[in-house]
Structure 1
Amino acid sequence: MSIVGMGGLGKTTLAKSVYNDPRVKRSFDIFAWVIISQEYTILEILKRISSEVSTTSSRDTIIDLAHAISEKLKKGKYLIVLDDVWRENVWDQLQKVFPDVDNGSRVIITTRFLNVAKIADPTVQPHELRLLNEKESWELFLLKVFPRQDIETCCPVYLVDFAHQLIQRCRGLPLALVVLGGLMSTKPKSQDAWQKVVESMKWQFVEGGEKCLKILALSYNDLPYYLKSCFLYFGCFREDMAIPIKTLIRWWSAEGFLPTKNGNTTEEIGLGCLEELAQRCLIQLTGRKYDGSAKYCRIHDLLRDMCISEAKENRYLEIYKNDTVDCAAVPNAARRLIIFNEFETLTYSNSKLRGLFYYGGMHNPLTFKALNGQLSGFKLLRVLNLNLYMREFPSEIKSLIHLRYLRLLADNMKEVPSCIGHLHNLQTFIVGGGELVNISDSLWTIESLKHVELFMISLVNPPNMPNIVLKNLQTLKGLRAGSWIRYMLQNFTNLRKLNIKEVNNDHANALYVSLQKLGRLASLTIQGNGIPSDNVMTAFSNQHCLKKVYLDGKLNCKQLPYNDVFPQQLVKLVLCLSQLEQDPMATLEKLPCLKYLKLGAGSYTGKQMICSATGFPQLLFLEVKGCDELEKWKIEKKAMLCLKSLELISCRKLKVIPEGLKNVSLELLLMKNMPEELKSRIEENTGEDWYKIQHVPNISFKYYD
């Protein structure tokens, strides 16, 4: 099934509305959404499909992945969306992966090109999207200008004529209407303000497939200076990429783009900038978390094209392709260099470079040789993001004294040497992959450090340096527990996120003393075998900012302490491998602010759980996984009244869902690897327990391979 139309017409929006419709979700067993885009490889596409449908393959080759995916899809009725297909041969290369077993499975393709749709299936007429008519355009425009207001009455009479003139310029193209509506939502609702915008659009409308480019440029030109710099940074990411908000804000901060506001953190200011760009409909905030906050953002490919065009014109960035720089007429003068593909040699010099981004991925570590001898030439570099694997720390980095953001991937990199201490302005230091054994003590002398994150098999144990304070440190992740907890941790008084590995009972007293002094801690993760829960949880009572806790490992107690030991403002709690013998719900249901609760594998070994009346007053998300002995679960009336999402995973003995679910306003019920008996009892219309969940719009029952 193909959806065809020009850029900005709403192909992806329509496909998403179908894909996410509750009736569709109930009609299929296996789902996958894969973005193809202009630059792709079949291997990468197959990896994405494999990830979406949860297959495993012995090797990451085209043949092995295709076979594994095909075998998985034969086991159920599947719905696959291939979004933004540009080339005719994509379907030829992929169609053998999708088996036709005559069970109603479907593949949906969105594309700008009619010939692509006809190649995929010449016997079926594609669904060609049309431009919006005048009435539809009027409604969409006003929805963006006056959100959450009545369409019939929201527009003042004195603005109606101006609104019609603006709408006519969009010629029915949804993206143009949305972006222009976003722009006008930021303007005063006065005749003068609207007339100025109308007069700025006296140009003739551009025909063809890029009808809204001038409207997009108009919205960009209207941005405040600092937001223009922030917006152009979206050109540093791959097309259609889900952009991590945390990373983006750290890059903005490293570049000095964010304005200063008294009383606001860098993260809060950055989120404010993103919200303003989203209000103007220049970006989308996606990947919403349980509390409604966004984790990722995206940019439409037409907006990205405009962004890159503007960035090149202003020498803001260059894109390196196949040993050539795709840049404007003035070479080697841009402030940022983006490299999307693997390369062997890099012939490039630019003493004004501020940012270097390499997205190569998991390639041969020798590819780093392409940068050898050149890094030291980028003296003004502030952001260095190298997504390639290297065997040793590049010593040239020591000369980049203006560097504020450094991210590396390690491949058998054992050590970060003392030269790291030369980076006196470093704010963010991230190392992923490999097995890091030692980080030089000099890292902990960099007073500007805000974020240290180690995503790897880390054996790093910081030194005992009691005089080190690091007042700016906010994030500390991936360090192994040791005596540094006693001598250093309590000095990091501005710490907001802490993640410690390999904790055991020997660290009990040190953790108790140090945690009590971290009054701004908002997120705490402790992993280990024998977590000293008594000491840790007692220290909680002094925490007034702590909202997220993750305890991964056996606790040295059989039941959770009374409710008043936990911080009352706790919003998110994850317990894994805790081996609790007493029902944890008796304590957890009394936490007044708890919105997210995950009981992971091995967290509870008992046979029964009870959620009492009025318990969990704000809980939105609940996951119960790997509670192997759980047989009975009771939910009393008025318990979990706000619950929206429930996931039950690998609870092998839970064969009956709770009666009380019929009173819970669930929007999603997901069950994975649950007993067949439970599945038969909740069969739609015929199962004896169907009445308990018939009100839930999105129900899914899955099995792992």
Structure 2
Amino acid sequence: MVGFDDEMKKIVQELVDINNANRSVISIVGMGGLEKTTLTKSVYNNIEVKRSFRMFAWVIISQQYNILEILKGISSEVSATSSADTIRDLSVAISKKLKKGKYLVVLDDVWNSDVWNELLKVFPDVNNGSKVIITTRFLNVAKIADPTTKPHELRCLDEKESRELFLRNVFPRQDIETCCPTDLGEYAHQLVQRCGGLPLALVVLGRLVSTKPQTKDAWRKVVKSMKGQFVEGGDRCLDILALSYNDFPYFLKSCFLYFGCFREDMNIPAETLIRLWSAEGFLPPKNSTTIEEIGFDCLKELAQRYLIQVTEQEYDDSRAMMCRIHDLLHDLCISKAKETRFLEIYQNDTVDYETMSNAAQQLIIFNGIETLNYSNPKLRGLLYWHGKSLRALKGQLGRFKYLTVLSFIGSDISEFPSEIKSLDKLRYLELHAWPLKEVPSWIGDLYNLQTFIISSRMLEKVSDSLWTIGNLRYVDLSISPLPIAREADPPNMGNNVPKNLQTLKGVKAGSWIGNTLPKLTNLCELGIVRVYTDHAYALSSSLQKLDRLASFSIENGYEIPLDNIITAFSNQHCLKKLFLSVVLNRRQLPHIDVFPQHLVEVFLRFFGLEQDPMETLEKLQCLRYLRLENDSYKGKQMICSATGFPQLFSLTIGALYTLEEWKIEEKAMPCLKYLHIAYGPKLKVLPEGLKSVPLHQLKLTHMSREFMTRIKEKTGEDWYKIQHVPEISIIKVSSFVLA
């Protein structure tokens, strides 16, 4: 944050002002690129603010907003439950929930005043000081939302602030006063001047210059490439942002333009993006480097240039897990993509399709359409996202012979589209269709297929021919999480197994575990469902041969000898994630000596252990994420010993119905930042040692009245144990756990 410290203090003061009991709206207004969202995040995460409100929600609105999706987002963040996912039911549920406490809701990137008029009814005013923050480019939106409160109109940075922000990005972690060589000072001045004080332009340009040699010639070329002075509200900002894009090699330009295929402000899974890049052939091969590693390197490069934002990272911050793109940069994506005929977007039925180039590489359809008037036979990617039916594509898919990517999400088909059979160049096929029952035998004809994703609650059979595709790298048959959903029958892979397979998820246990699994030696991620006792020996034997496995999960397992599974990994160094949802017939976890020592994430559910699992788990030196849920431990006492859990970052304890006492000894969990305790009817007292744990966030869900009374702010007997925690969120007591 450069230049907005005073503004941030003013907004924080407005939020925590106890003299203003009205529900009021605070608007942050400014042109695109002024980093309104960055400022708002700093305010939202401020310790004083976190302690002043009980409920929090952050939703992104954007130009193409959908009120139902916005309400779902708010409902999810404040844990409001409704009988149906309709605008009316969600509005009532949210309003009812928000009446129960002081809330802070952020509506980020509002373009239209109609949004506020449609959402106004869900934000009750019960004179408790609740607040709504709106970020917008338009002053009229702010004035309509709250005519009585003066908006915070952000300014562009002055010359001194602009120079500081620019140099911080050119010379990170260096002294701003001395970092820039004297002979480059004039060029730095010219570059800063042409950004017009716009923070986003200064950061992107600074990151670009940081990749250049510190020579006059190199910096002179950057100055020369800039066409002119920044013009507020015009296209000049995009020209500055495009400098970094123009500096990329061809393949990285394609990777960046692919962000235009996603909705503005959408959080995008990094692995999904990389699989799509791979299928499109964007990623150049490198010796001794996997395609996935190349893809993550591309993401890292884009993030370092500040052309994308990493919103969630792996446990060791080494890789991006989720990413998004700034709306101005999304505009740049769309502009460049259409200019180069990289993509076309069907937004709705009102678009004039006559003006389309009909020659773009990618076609994106965001809404249901009646007909598809698109004739490019060389189309390479078709992404039909959130469409209700495939009727518009019927009889037309077969003409796109060069398709390498085909993705349908939100379709209601019950049969696999037969036209896909002729698309033998497909490398990526994704189909989310709840009524789908069978994957046909001709799936094996798609011999180039790398990624195959099917999500259906009715899937009964996947043809064995799928496993004859030698190029398969990623297969996900995971069902939607619904009670009536069922898994497809176990696969029969035979002898021609896809040896390049790296991810296999949602596959039902069967004889293939002993016959075929040992041959899948390139597997890095494995998820099996419906594992029974008679599979245990074969599974244990097979797992020992998968020395590249980094993630393993069992869903709905029954009475599995855990020793067999754990010891299978005891000598493996790659396993980082272990998810076991099984019913066990034993009292305790295996000894720490046979546990895989490099585990970073562990999730245990339905175990029924009688001996405290912490005694073993706390000795895992690399463990950062731990979840114990649904009666995984049936004992009365749990102890976290001194110096235990040295790296633990996040801990969830949920539905341990018999737990009465929890002890945390001195110096235990020295890195714990997030703690969630849920559905613990017999746990009445927080551990004394919690007062020394450096928590950032404590979440309490459906705890007993006695427990909640003891942690009441300032007056509760246990308040002193958690008064240092900046963010404490509470979901009210449920009737079945009442003391």
- Give the TM-score range, shorter chain: over 0.9
Shift of 1:358: 1.2
- Residue in structure 1 matched with residue 167 of structure 2 by the alignment: 142
CA contact 1:245–1:297 (8 Å) conserved in 2: yes
Moved more, 369-378 or 32-41: 32-41
- Residue in structure 1 matched with residue 217 of structure 2 by the alignment: 192
Say which of 312, 328, 331 aligns to 1:302: 328
Say if 1:141 and 1:590 are closer, same or farther in 2 by CA, change over 3 A.
same
Name the CA distance, whole Å, in 2 between partners of 1:470 and 1:433: 23
Say if 1:655 and 1:294 are closer, same or farther in 2 by CA, change over 3 A.
farther
Tell me the alpha carbon deviations over residues 594-626 of structure 1, each in whole angstroms, 9 at most, x when there is no partner: 111111121111011111122112211111111
Name the CA distance, whole Å, in 1 between partners of 2:699 and 2:266: 27
Percent identity reads 66
Tell me the alpha carbon deviations over residues 185-207 of structure 1, each in whole angstroms, 9 at most, x when there is no partner: 21122222111111222524333
What amino acid maps onto 1:162 in structure 2? Y
Aligned to 1:384, what secondary structure does the other structure show?
strand
Residue 725 of structure 2 corresponds to residue 696 of structure 1? yes
Moved more, 64-73 or 244-253: 64-73
- Residue in structure 2 matched with residue 533 of structure 1 by the alignment: 562
Name the CA distance, whole Å, in 2 between partners of 1:345 and 1:202: 43
What amino acid maps onto 1:301 in structure 2? D
Name the CA distance, whole Å, in 1 between partners of 2:132 and 2:240: 34
Shift of 1:324: 6.5
Shift of 1:42: 2.2
Structure 1: unaligned runs, 5 residues or longer: none
- Residue in structure 1 matched with residue 252 of structure 2 by the alignment: 227
Name the CA distance, whole Å, in 1 between partners of 2:493 and 2:225: 61
Structure 2: unaligned runs, 5 residues or longer: 1-25, 480-484, 735-739
Say if 1:614 and 1:328 are closer, same or farther in 2 by CA, change over 3 A.
farther
What amino acid maps onto 2:322 in structure 1? Y
Name the CA distance, whole Å, in 2 between partners of 1:463 and 1:64: 42
Aligned to 1:285, what secondary structure does the other structure show?
strand
- Residue in structure 2 matched with residue 471 of structure 1 by the alignment: 499
Residue 376 of structure 2 corresponds to residue 376 of structure 1? no
Shift of 1:704: 6.7
- Residue in structure 2 matched with residue 446 of structure 1 by the alignment: 469
CA contact 1:323–1:347 (8 Å) conserved in 2: no
Name the CA distance, whole Å, in 2 between partners of 1:626 and 1:474: 34
CA contact 2:79–2:731 (8 Å) conserved in 1: no
CA contact 2:704–2:733 (8 Å) conserved in 1: no
- Residue in structure 2 matched with residue 58 of structure 1 by the alignment: 83
Name the CA distance, whole Å, in 1 between partners of 2:442 and 2:232: 57
Shift of 1:176: 0.7
Say which of 415, 432, 438 aligns to 2:438: 415
Aligned to 1:634, what secondary structure does the other structure show?
strand
Say if 1:574 and 1:266 are closer, same or farther in 2 by CA, change over 3 A.
same
CA contact 1:461–1:484 (8 Å) conserved in 2: no
Name the CA distance, whole Å, in 2 between partners of 1:227 and 1:548: 31
What amino acid maps onto 1:271 in structure 2? F
Shift of 1:223: 1.1
Moved more, 104-113 or 679-688: 679-688
Name the CA distance, whole Å, in 1 between partners of 2:695 and 2:55: 21
- Residue in structure 2 matched with residue 74 of structure 1 by the alignment: 99
Alignment of 1:275-674 (within 5 A): 275-292=300-317, 293-323=319-349, 331-361=357-387, 363=388, 367-389=389-411, 390-456=413-479, 457-527=485-555, 528-674=557-703
Say if 1:558 and 1:617 are closer, same or farther in 2 by CA, change over 3 A.
same
Shift of 1:216: 0.8
Say if 1:285 and 1:123 are closer, same or farther in 2 by CA, change over 3 A.
same
CA contact 2:386–2:410 (8 Å) conserved in 1: yes
Name the CA distance, whole Å, in 2 between partners of 1:418 and 1:453: 18
Say if 1:464 and 1:503 are closer, same or farther in 2 by CA, change over 3 A.
same
Shift of 1:652: 1.8
Aligned residues: CA RMSD: 1.8
What amino acid maps onto 1:354 in structure 2? R
Aligned to 1:701, what secondary structure does the other structure show?
strand
Tell me the alpha carbon deviations over residues 304-324 of structure 1, each in whole angstroms, 9 at most, x when there is no partner: 111111111111001113347
Moved more, 486-495 or 314-323: 314-323
Name the CA distance, whole Å, in 1 between partners of 2:194 and 2:636: 66
Say if 1:322 and 1:668 are closer, same or farther in 2 by CA, change over 3 A.
closer
Say if 1:639 and 1:207 are closer, same or farther in 2 by CA, change over 3 A.
closer
- Residue in structure 2 matched with residue 267 of structure 1 by the alignment: 292
Say if 1:417 and 1:137 are closer, same or farther in 2 by CA, change over 3 A.
same
Aligned to 1:424, what secondary structure does the other structure show?
coil
Tell me the alpha carbon deviations over residues 659-682 of structure 1, each in whole angstroms, 9 at most, x when there is no partner: 222332222222222233333333
Alignment of 1:226-245 (within 5 A): 226-245=251-270
- Residue in structure 2 matched with residue 130 of structure 1 by the alignment: 155
Shift of 1:409: 1.2
Shift of 1:282: 0.5
Aligned to 1:171, what secondary structure does the other structure show?
coil
Name the CA distance, whole Å, in 2 between partners of 1:192 and 1:264: 34
CA contact 2:491–2:508 (8 Å) conserved in 1: no
CA contact 1:563–1:588 (8 Å) conserved in 2: yes
Name the CA distance, whole Å, in 2 between partners of 1:594 and 1:44: 35
What amino acid maps onto 2:563 in structure 1? D
Q: Given the two structures, how large is their TM-score scaled by the length of structure 1?
A: 0.96
Shift of 1:115: 0.9
Say which of 17, 34, 39 aligns to 2:59: 34
Aligned to 1:220, what secondary structure does the other structure show?
helix
Say which of 178, 191, 213 aligns to 1:166: 191
Q: Given the two structures, how large is their TM-score scaled by the length of structure 2?
A: 0.92
CA contact 1:403–1:423 (8 Å) conserved in 2: yes
CA contact 2:710–2:717 (8 Å) conserved in 1: yes
CA contact 2:315–2:600 (8 Å) conserved in 1: no
- Residue in structure 2 matched with residue 112 of structure 1 by the alignment: 137
Name the CA distance, whole Å, in 2 between partners of 1:327 and 1:184: 40
Tell me the alpha carbon deviations over residues 509-541 of structure 1, each in whole angstroms, 9 at most, x when there is no partner: 111111111111110001212233121112122
Matched length: 701
Name the CA distance, whole Å, in 2 between partners of 1:264 and 1:611: 41
